[in-house]
Amino acid sequence: MGTKQERNHWVSDYKAGNIDLLFVYNMLLTGFDAKRLKKLYIGRKIKSHNLLQTLTRVNRTYKNHFYGFVVDFADIQKEFDKTNQDYFNELQSE
């Protein structure tokens, strides 16, 4: 929604603390770093590497916040378990 310039402006405003909520779809899952992000609502299935990248958006410490919250509306548990096992197996093989 909006132009690329508007979206970039909203992301900058979020990172600066000027707005508190962003709704995203197929954006900002990988390579997005906003230390103040502490709540993540998942509304669709995400798999493999993208799932891990998405979940790690909330694991950075920020001021007095030492962990984040994930609210799962998409029932990602099976995919999460599979992805973690695959990642573990890959690490063990190295």
How confident is the model at residue 68, as a pLDDT?
85
Q: Provide the pLDDT for residue 30.
A: 64
Q: Where are the chain's structural domains?
A: 4-93
What DSSP letter does each residue of the chain carry, written as one string?
---HHHHHHHHHHHHHTS------SSSSSSS---TT--EEEE-S---HHHHHHHHGGG-S-BTTB-S-EEEESS--HHHHHHHHHHHHHHHHH-
Which of residues 83 and 36 earns the better pLDDT score?
A: 83
Q: Is the pTM of this model over 0.75?
A: no
